[in-house]
Chain A
Amino acid sequence: MNNEKRRGVSRREFIKTAIVIAAASLSSKFAIDAAISSDGGRGAGGYYEFFFLEDDKERLEYYDMLGFVIEKNGRKCVANPLLPDKCMAYTKPYEEDRFELLPPGAREDFYSKCVRCGLCYFACSYMGYYAIRLVDERGGLRKVGTPVVDDVMYRPCTLCMECTRVCPTGALEEVPREEAGMGIALIDPDLCWAWNSGDCKSCAKACPFGSEVFEFTFTEWGLHTRVRPDKCTGCGLCVSACPIGGSAIHVLPRGVYEERTRNYKNTGMSYEEYLKLIQETERKDPFKATWRTAINTDYIQNVRGFIEEKLETKKTSSRILGNTSSDDASF
């Protein structure tokens, strides 16, 4: 009898503690989620890096002589020739500027329709593309277990649409490849080789839709390339094709794309206006345009580097190092 009584009480206590623990864990989860979302991620200007000159005496002297150096927050940086009171701003390398894109065919009601079965991840990996991966517990209760395409540099989506075919609930609708709508590619005209007196087209060659998505303007200042935002599917095949280190073309989710193009590089003008300013300067003031190209080329070649050059440098340096070390050993 006593035993029975004690058992009953302890069972009740167990249920009580279980409820308390569950409530505490749930509330902490929501609190963490709220804290993460209220942080707002990157602040204004967090998308860009500037051409700072402090640790480079020679270049500082050179640009100071030309009158292109201004101070920003107590640090010296190269001014934008088109906008003399602004620093030269570049989109960060892809590793620091990657986003979680939703797989093809996802619409606004994706999170309410997705049952988190992971079938799209397994289907994508079974096909051998490994583009889709699942969100782990850092995504919070809302996103844990849902699929994302978050590494288009190394594992881009090939738009095979297998994930939309296996999805059991229609969270990923089966749509034509042209309407995948994962994101929109955005070219940084200050990093793009084609916007700086070059002739590249690598992104357009890699794009599965080619000239349907890309528009070209042929001038003596290079092959100016643009992405049509209404046609781009956001598959990310262009990102790894870009020869600039860290890629000049990035795929952004729709919301980020709109936010970024509205006030492009914190200049107060939209992306289209910025491109127009560049083209107008090229027509009317070749001197300024030349300096713009020169500064950008300096940055691309000496700070970012080209992918091929980087690979070659690594190879040659390792070979040289190997030789020297063997020489050392022989001495």
Chain B
Amino acid sequence: MPPRVRHRKFWLRIRGIPPRGRYTIARRILQLIVIVLFSTQLLVSGSIVVGTLASSRILKTVPMLDVFAWLEHVAASRGSISTESILAVLVVFTLYSFLGRAFCGWVCPMDLLFSIFERKVNNPRLPLTKPHSPGKVEKLLPLLAMALFLVLSMVLGQPFYTTVSPIAGATKLGSMLVGVIYNIPGATLGLVMAWTTITGIALFANIAAEYLFGIKRLWCRFLCPVGAFYGFVTNKYSPLKVKVVNAEKCLGCGLCSLACPTSIELLDYIREKRDIIDYRCFHCGRCVEACPYGVLSLGLRIRGKGSGT
């Protein structure tokens, strides 16, 4: 029988979605704020943010353009790009140069959806993906997906993934649903259907892989090129990361690795006292919450080497 972890704060004991703690609650609140802001932009929040997660305007001035959407745009238009798109993409790129792959865990509405339908860790019927360090093939798959989407964009002459992206699709779905409910002209049931299809395919694929074959986060780990770009590029040098602060307190129970949605083998990192610099890590802080002894901590560190060394 594992020792019961007594939290000092009562709100850390909220039941429901697996590991629950301050980071998860903060993430859910931020994700809900993002999706609500995008959904109600034609009713109330239009002065704060306009657009979707593919491209938006903050406070009607700051342009933002998703990095992978920009890459696909460059591939599709064969290099004829405007200066404004470079400016817009630099805003996002600079932001996530500091935050790494935090987009996936803290902003992306698909993470919210995937987490709602997530299987409990202690379900004994089928084993979930075990924590592991990625092999070459596994690392290659998201890169291959990225390359495939870029080539498809070039061949079809249109941004392929961004057209069918469930990330932008979920925000569009939210705003279209609100539009249909409040009878906003231009929001039709056909559009709701279109974005439901796009979001639903990703959600269904992810749930099917998780429940039938025990593959955790199929979409995020293998298919989504947006997260893959942040993982392979900005996660390498971003100051925000999960740090190993008290490696000597670790008992090697492996709770952190079990809680990790993308099955990172954290025990290796703790043993070597390295900070977690993994392309799969999206700084969700579940490992930090799961650890009863405070070995890990989520925070900023410019130098990415290690805690003790």
Residues of A within 8 A of B (CB): 3, 7, 10-11, 14, 18, 109, 111-119, 121-123, 125-126, 130, 132-134, 136-138, 141-142, 144-145, 155, 166, 168-170
Chain A residues contacting B84 (CB-CB under 8 Å) are 168-170
User: Do A112 and B157 form a contact, CB below 8 Å, given A18-B205, A130-B186, A170-B84?
Assistant: yes
Docked pose: A118 CA to B76 CA in angstroms: 18
Query: In the complex, are the beta carbons of A14 and B85 less than 8 A apart?
Result: no
Would A117 and B55 count as touching, CB distance under 8 A? yes
B78 to chain A, nearest CB (A): 8
* Interchain CB contact under 8 A, A166 and B185: no
Determine which of B42, B46, B127, B168 lies in contact with A116 in the assembled complex, contact meaning CB atoms within 8 Å: B168
Q: How many angstroms from the CA of A3 to the CA of B127 in the assembled complex? A: 9
How many Å lie between the Cα of A109 and that of B233 in the bound state? 30
A18 CA to B61 CA, complexed, in Å: 42
Q: Does B158 sit at the interface, judged by CB under 8 A?
A: yes
Q: Are A115 and B127 in contact (CB under 8 A)?
A: no
Q: Is the CB of A119 within 8 A of B186?
A: no
What residue in chain A is nearest B89 (Cβ atoms)? A168
User: Across the interface, do B168 and A122 meet the contact criterion of CB distance under 8 Å?
Assistant: no
Apart from A11-B215, A112-B77, A133-B186, list 13 A-B contacts with CB within 8 A: A10-B213, A14-B208, A14-B213, A115-B55, A117-B69, A117-B162, A118-B172, A125-B42, A130-B184, A134-B191, A136-B191, A141-B164, A169-B84
Complex contact B50–A126 (CB within 8 A):
yes
Which residue of the partner chain B has the closest CB to A133?
B186
A261 CA / B93 CA spacing, docked (Å): 49
Q: Is B63 an interface residue (CB 8 A)?
A: yes
The CA-CA distance from A109 to B164 in the complex, in Å, is: 20
B 45-73 to A, binary, CB cutoff 8 A, 1 in contact else 0: 01000111011110000011100011011
Partner pick for B82 among A118, A122, A130, A169, CB 8 A cutoff: A169
> Are B193 and A136 interface neighbours, CB within 8 A?
yes
B54 nearest in chain A by CB position: A117
State the CA gap A130–B187 with chains docked (Å).
10
- Closest Cβ of chain B: how far from A125's Cβ, in Å? 5
Q: Which residues of B pack against A, CB within 8 Å?
A: 41-42, 46, 50-52, 54-57, 63-65, 69-70, 72-73, 76-78, 80-82, 84-85, 88, 126-127, 156-159, 162-164, 168, 172, 175, 184-186, 188, 190-191, 193-194, 197, 205, 208-209, 212-215
Chain A residue with the shortest CB-CB distance to B46: A126
Distance between A163 CB and nearest chain B CB, rounded to angstroms:
11
**Using Cβ atoms and an 8 Å threshold, which residues of chain A touch B212?**
10, 14
List, in ascending order, chain B residues with CB within 8 A of A166's CB.
Answer: 50-51, 57, 63
Contact sample, A vs B, 20 pairs, CB 8 Å cutoff? A14-B212, A109-B80, A111-B158, A112-B157, A115-B159, A115-B162, A116-B168, A117-B56, A118-B52, A118-B168, A122-B41, A134-B191, A136-B188, A137-B193, A141-B164, A144-B194, A145-B172, A145-B194, A168-B55, A169-B65
The answer on a CB contact under 8 Å between B57 and A119 is: yes
Indicate if the CB atoms of B190 and A137 lie closer than 8 Å.
yes
Complex: how many Å from CA A148 to CA B199? 23
Query: Given contacts A3-B127, A119-B55, are A168 and B63 in contact (CB under 8 A)?
Result: yes
B42 and A170 contact, CB distance less than 8 A = no
State whether B186 touches A121 (Cβ < 8 A). Answer: yes
CB pair A168 B158 closer than 8 Å? no
Task: Compute how far the CA of A166 lies from the CA of B77 in the bound complex, rounded to whole angstroms.
Answer: 19
Nearest neighbor of B53 in chain A, beta-carbon distance: A117
Would you call A138 and B190 a contact (CB within 8 A)? yes
Measured in the bound complex, the distance between the Cα atoms of B69 and A213 in whole Å is 39
CB distance from B297 to the nearest CB of A (A): 35
Alpha-carbon gap, A112 to B51, bound state (A): 19
The answer to whether B184 touches A11, judged by C-beta atoms less than 8 angstroms apart, is no
Contacts of A3 in B (CB 8 A): 127
Question: In the complex, are the beta carbons of B172 and A114 less than 8 A apart?
Answer: no
Nearest-CB residue, chain B, relative to A154: B185
Q: Quick one: which of B85, B164, B191 contacts A168, CB cutoff 8 A?
A: B85
Contact B76 A119 (CB under 8 A): no
Find B163's partner among A123, A132, A141, A170 (CB 8 Å cutoff). Answer: A141
Knowing A122-B175, A136-B194, say if A168 contacts B162 (CB, 8 Å).
Answer: no
Whether A111 pairs with B186 at a CB distance below 8 angstroms is no
Docked complex Cα distance between A286 and B299 (Å):
89
Closest chain A CB from B195 CB (angstroms): 9
Which chain A positions have C-beta within 8 A of B70? 115, 169
CB distance from B2 to the nearest CB of A (A): 24
CB-CB nearest in chain B for A130: B185
A145 contacts B163, CB within 8 Å? Answer: yes
Specify which of A122, A123, A170 is in contact with B85 (CB 8 Å cutoff). Answer: A170
Residues of B near A134 (CB, < 8 A) are 172, 186, 191
Using CB atoms, name the residue of chain A closest to B65. Answer: A168
Complex CA gap A144/B158 in Å reads 11
Q: Are A111 and B82 in contact (CB under 8 A)?
A: no
A166 and B41 CA atoms in complex are apart in Å by 15
Of A18, A114, A138, chain B has the most CB atoms within 10 Å of the CB of: A114
Residue of B with least CB distance to A122: B50
Task: Let me know if A144 and B163 touch, CB within 8 A.
Answer: yes
Q: Are the C-beta atoms of A125 and B213 separated by less than 8 Å?
A: no
Docked complex Cα distance between A205 and B52 (Å): 38
Instruction: List chain B residues, Cβ under 8 A from A109.
Output: 77, 80
